[in-house]
Amino acid sequence: MTLFFQTVGGAFFISAGQTGFANRLLKEAPEKVPGVNPAVVVATGATDLRKVFSAAQLPGILVAYLDGIRVAFSIGLAVACVAFVLSFTPRWENLKEKKKSTDAA
């Protein structure tokens, strides 16, 4: 059960972080840099931003990019906080086998 939740939870929240990042970037890019296609910014990736966009466009694109990353990190932080709180809910159980005592009387 633990392996299931680790696998599914990881896949689900990575997808949620990517979606939050892309949605915020698509929303903020036209506001910060008018005339730039936000889909091109998402498709370009962080390493090629300086190669694709001009020096005048780059500051606005980087601000929009950082806004998107902030959303992804916020989702990760929220999930980590919930996991931390939930880690205290299971009760303690001893997994060692109890030794049987034999009394010879």
Write the DSSP assignment of 37-74 as a string of letters. Answer: -HHHHHHH-GGGHHHHS-TTTHHHHHHHHHHHHHHHHH
Residue spans of the domains in the chain: they are 7-86
Tens digits of residue pLDDT in 2-22: 788 888 888 899 999 999 999
Tens digits of residue pLDDT in 54-88: 999 999 999 999 999 999 999 999 999 998 998 88
7's tokens: 């696998």
What is the pTM assigned to this prediction?
Answer: 0.76
Q: 60 φ, ψ to 5°? A: -65, -40
Q: How far apart are CA 19 and CA 22, in angstroms?
A: 5
Amino acid at 102: T
